[in-house]
A and B are shown apart, each in its own frame.
Chain A
Amino acid sequence: ELKVEQNPLFLSMQEGKNYTIYCNYSTTSDRLYWYRQDPGKSLESLFVLLSNGAVKQEGRLMASLDTKARLSTLHITAAVHDLSATYFCAPAGNKLTFGGGTRVLVKP
């Protein structure tokens, strides 16, 4: 059974600084998704990473995948308040398995 561990579970950020969220998973997966969830809302797709070494960037967010290490990272550059949300990673096996989520709070 695929197990997914995200850390940290909570991240208090200062505006303008850089931070990284880590996603470790236990078994081989051929793709990995990152999602954002705002309070009371459903999931918003951020990235899908399809291969080892894949890197994708959108605005202040950059995601990467190392399939050998079974590790994905979500890097936030120069955090701004609008990025406050909960972020989930989800490697895909025969189904999506979600990490526990990282709650991000960006303070002025």
Chain B
Amino acid sequence: GAVVSQHPSWVICKSGTSVKIECRSLDFQATTMFWYRQFPKQSLMLMATSNEGSKATYEQGVEKDKFLINHASLTLSTLTVTSAHPEDSSFYICSASRAGGGTDTQYFGPGTRLTVL
């Protein structure tokens, strides 16, 4: 149990376009979902936390108008990278937890590799 999927697994786009990444909890209801970004050979950095039906909470330094997060249901959260630029190229990983709060176990998706040309 506790499977999280992401779609697409990889995407290549042109600079200036927008890209949407989906994160789904397949066999449980996720009260909270998290979005992380990982640059090559670096650690994971939390971008934002989203709770179903409410606005996402963004970490310091993350532009909320550029990285749009929607958590419309208990099984789906989406991250839209608007007006993508090459510096947005990264590995984006989502996670989901059953309950609210950062200490509850998070189940990680397989990640989405974004390359912006």
The interface of chain A, by Cβ under 8 A from chain B, is 30-31, 35, 40-43, 45, 48, 88, 92-101, 103
Is A94 a contact of B110 with CB atoms below 8 Å?
no
Interface set, chain B 85-117, CB cutoff 8 A to A = 93, 101-103, 105-106, 108-111, 113
B43 at the interface (CB under 8 A from A): yes
Check if B103 sits within 8 Å of A30, measured CB to CB.
yes
A35 to B110, CA, bound (A): 14
- Per-residue 0/1 for B32-44: is the Cβ within 8 Å of any A Cβ (1 yes, 0 no)? 0010000001111
Q: Find the A residue at minimum CB distance from B104.
A: A92
The answer to whether the Cβ of B46 comes within 8 Å of any Cβ in the partner chain is yes
* Bound form: Cα–Cα A98–B42 in Å: 10
Number of B residues, CB within 8 Å of A: 19
Main secondary structure of the interface of A (DSSP, over half): loop
- Contact residues in B for A98 (Cβ distance below 8 Å): 43-45
Asked if B102 and A95 make an inter-chain contact with CB atoms under 8 angstroms apart, the answer reads yes
Q: Please name all residues of chain A whose beta carbon is closer than 8 Å to the beta carbon of B111 when the two chains form the complex.
A: 41-42
Chain B interface residues toward A at CB < 8 A:
34, 41-46, 49, 93, 101-103, 105-106, 108-111, 113
Taking the nearest CB of chain B, how far is it from the CB of A70, in angstroms?
Answer: 16
A42 CA to B43 CA, complexed, in Å: 12
Residues of chain B contacted by A96 (CB below 8 angstroms): 34, 46, 102, 106
Q: Are A95 and B49 in contact (CB under 8 A)?
A: yes
Q: Which chain B positions have C-beta within 8 A of A92?
A: 102-103
Note all chain B residues with C-beta closer than 8 A to A97. 46
> Contact partner of B108 among A30, A43, A99, CB < 8 A?
A43
Please name all residues of chain A whose beta carbon is closer than 8 Å to the beta carbon of B46 when the two chains form the complex: 95-97
Cβ-defined contact, B105 with A48, below 8 A: yes
Q: Which residues of chain A come closer than 8 Å to B103, judged between CB atoms?
A: 30-31, 92-94
User: Which 5 pairs from chain A and chain B are nearest by CB?
Assistant: A95-B102, A42-B111, A92-B103, A94-B102, A43-B108
